[in-house]
Structure 1
Amino acid sequence: MKRIGVLTSGGDSPGMNAAIRAVVRKGIYHDLEVYGIYNGYAGLISGNIKKLELGSVGDIIHRGGTMLHSARCLEFKTPEGQQKGIEQLKKFGIEGLVVIGGDGSFQGAKKLSEQGYPTIGVPGTIDNDIPGTDFTIGFDTALNTIIDAIDKIRDTATSHERTYIIEVMGRDAGDLALWAGLADGAETILIPEEDHKMDQVVQKLQRGHERGKKHSIIIVAEGCGSGVDVAKEIERLSDFETRVTVLGHIQRGGSPTAFDRVLASRLGAQAVELLLEGKAGRTVGIENNKLVDYDITEVLSRKHSIDKQMYKLSQELSI
């Protein structure tokens, strides 16, 4: 193998640049030519591909977002779109591909692998919803962004004696809400993996009020409902005054934490090593601080799950 490519797809996450840097420099270290594919699978189809040098990835390890940019591409979901992408890879002589992204990006990588094109998936998403790895690139940074926001909101919640509902990202995964809620001592955490009843949420608020508690923080994962709807339901069932903060895309930006930079560097380099070993259709990950890799079809067939013990602990500590 003499030439490999790298692309980022789907939602950006802090640390993607560190992963790109690792792929490029690890590749060059092993005498490979590395090509950057810009704007994800859309750029692959259109041939927006450029050779990257050592200096191309200088001064990016600390930057959020992705220097290769990203885009969602419906055309690549079709056999015709996939064939166009493969034709571009052949045109540039690219013999292996590293795809950095989440579930949708991995679906595209799986299609390429099924057609005999060597592809390795690197999990990059703030949702932390990819099986086969304890952590995905960007999760830790997004988590710390949320915690910083909650700390500030708690100051004003204390001053005004109100109930604050904070809606966080996570789509169908509650990891961000669960970890942030436990780290910041939230009174209630609502996540899509666990059922909840609003009357029980209100009862907990009332118990706290009766013992002299002046404010409360409720974390809502976007996958289980709108923060605004939760606030309306609380006010319908009680006399509590609520305020809602939707953190939105602020969670996806910012300089990556040290953890995400190191994780991205390790996973990006591991992806290159797998290609050099002749492996394809794999995803890389980290489990118990050890690098692992799995068949991409197996990973996509598994369902992400939260840490049940952690959720139980959050309930026990928020009585």
Structure 2
Amino acid sequence: MIHARGLTRTFKVNKERVEAVRGIDLEVEAGRLVAFLGPNGAGKSTTLRMLTTLLPPTSGTATVAGRDIVADPAGVRARIGYVGQKNGAGENFRVRDELVTQGRCYGMTRAEARRRAEEVLDLLELRPLALRRPGTLSGGQRRRLDIALGLVHRPDLLFLDEPSTGLDPHSRADIWQHILRLRAEYGTTVLLTTHYLEEADSMAERVVIIDHGRVIADGTTERLKSDLAGDRITVTVHDAQDAARAAAVAERFAAPGEVSAEGTAVRLRVPRADAALPEYLRALEAAGVKAAAAETARPTLDDVFLALTGRTLRESDGAPAAA
């Protein structure tokens, strides 16, 4: 559905050349839900704007839904839906009329546009709001309307740029319910950006992490967490002397630099804690060290980014946004 090679985009800011995207290679298969993650200014939105033909690339090539983004931008736009960070509906027309107008813009007859408007009203549970004006809707309702506008023409591929940002937890969960439902019913391919790492972790089949305009990781969340971050084991012993001995034993189970001891707590990072912990506890017992407590923790996508860059995504989000 997406095939990109060497996409770059440069801007001039105060007469200086800024490389927002520095050679993106990206493959997205049909029917997948892919999360595109990175800190502010990493190049996420710039990449989406290029893939959706809103911004021409400086160099590189890409085909989206079978059409070249430079040679056939109209063909790309006819086959994709795009929901940006800002609301897409106007303020002066009713919800149903907005949807009909969107269908007409895609070349549907008035009857076809009306039929499709009724379908997406039901799909996104907007029918009770059909006669309301967008300006009277809540944030979650407006985002559902934005997604409905992006689906009117039945696109094969839907781009969602921060679809749940600024919403309360209930509205965010509601938006995700509808995203998953449309995938189940239509098999729509979805590429989204989000700052909510727990959403990407639990919902996306694949995660692509971008930093400084380059892809630095790409895979399932489980593989990225296992390969790049690893599980954490924390064992508490009775005194500092035992902690030193427990740390020495831990070196057999963890990679160099992945063991630390502080007070009576020993921490180590391993590929699979469920397999390593029983063996580690047996090794401690054989060494004459009695564990008072033990716990394990799965890594997060923030841990993956920390392992790759030395900083967390949340720390990086405080930086000024350039893309």
Greater strand share, 1 or 2?
A: 2
Give the structure-1-normalised TM-score.
Answer: 0.30
Specify the structure having the higher radius of gyration (Cα).
2
Greater helix share, 1 or 2?
A: 1
Give the structure-2-normalised TM-score.
Answer: 0.29
Q: Bigger relative contact order, structure 1 or 2, given CA contacts below 8 A and separation 6+? A: 1
